[in-house]
Amino acid sequence: MRFGVTYDLRADYLAQGFGEEETAEFDSEITIAAISGALEALGHEPIRIGSVRRLAERLVAGERWDGVFNICEGLKGVSREAQVPALLEAYDVPYVFSDPLTLSLALDKGMAKRVVRSAGVPTPDFAVIENPYDLDYLDFSFPLFIKPVAEGSGKGVSAKSRVNDFAALWGQTKTLLARYSQPVLVETFLPGREFTVGITGTGREASALGVMEVVWTDKASPHGYGYENKEHFEEKMIYRLAEDRAAEEAADVALAAWRALRCRDGGRVDIRFGDDGKAYFLEVNPLAGLNPDRSDLVFITRFQGLSYRDLIGRIVESFLRRHPDLRE
């Protein structure tokens, strides 16, 4: 099977003058090579395409593939992760991972929470703030946790994300609104254990690949699994396989959210426990990182004794179940 591979290469954007944080979600050559190698080892032919603009050029030129393995994050807009899938649908080219609606919905954390909450999935009380004066109508108890509504890779999350009074809430909200030019998500702070759940499959066939607990060291920025902690996880974070009752509950909540948002093929869901001892949905990543050395989903895979090729194989198998006509 001929698999086009779409991606945003971080080095390309850095060369254009974009900053380290701006490009945090983009991929390295190591990741693209690993995905291509795994696809080849599975008997497929990987064909590198690149960004959405390169994809558009090649589609207009008449090039086609049996399917596309898409990990493009996009650069601009709240629907940036949906750009490649939308373009592929316009040209009737099947692709791996979620559709434009799910990707747009998942990136907007407030909208994702509204959907999962309506489906009965527990999520902490939250509000989406577009102007600091909206805070005057907020009726939540402190402490609270705040972050940009539509960023990934922990951008906008720091030690200042947990706020204990109105003055701190007002100040940090103004800072985030100005820096990221998008609304701010305010939610009840959950003081319990944090997990990230790896998931493969689609709909009722989806299952938890494994549950990883995220633990802060004394060198980490406290409270949030933010950009600095993720970029320097080797010294700031401890990751460990979780298999206790709490992990089982986290997996149940994660799968319920995954299905409610109609995510496909593979990704991650972040879960945290409240002071009531219950698991709550934080956010979903339907385009989870696939760096073989740095990505949470890959760590979870290895905790289960599986290889990188096994992970890509499970993702592709889910895709092929949705497109049985593509099986050779």
For residues 205 and 278, membership in a common domain is answered with yes
pLDDT in tens, 134-180: 999 899 999 999 999 998 868 888 889 999 999 999 999 999 999 99
Domain end, chosen from 188, 205, 232, is at 188
For residues 83 and 168, membership in a common domain is answered with no
CA distances to 1, 103, 108 from 158, rounded to whole Å, are 44, 25, 19
For residues 320 and 239, membership in a common domain is answered with yes
Please say whether the beta carbons of 212 and 198 come within 8 A.
Answer: yes
CATH number at residue 162: 3.30.1490.20
What global pTM score does this model have?
Answer: 0.93
- Does residue 308 belong to any structural domain of this protein? yes
For residues 214 and 263, membership in a common domain is answered with yes
Number of domains in the chain: 3
For residues 91 and 20, membership in a common domain is answered with yes
State the pLDDT confidence band at 28, using cuts at 50, 70 and 90.
Answer: very high
For residues 147 and 203, membership in a common domain is answered with no
For residues 199 and 256, membership in a common domain is answered with yes
Please say whether the beta carbons of 102 and 286 come within 8 A.
Answer: yes
- Does residue 82 belong to any structural domain of this protein? yes
- Does residue 114 belong to any structural domain of this protein? no
pLDDT in tens, 55-69: 999 999 999 999 999
- Does residue 104 belong to any structural domain of this protein? no
CATH number at residue 267: 3.30.470.20
- Does residue 112 belong to any structural domain of this protein? no
17-53 burial: b if 16+ Cβ within 10 Å, else e: eeeebebbbbbbeebbebbbebbeebebebbebbbbe
Range of the domain at 206: 191-325
Selected residue with higher pLDDT from 76 and 190: 190
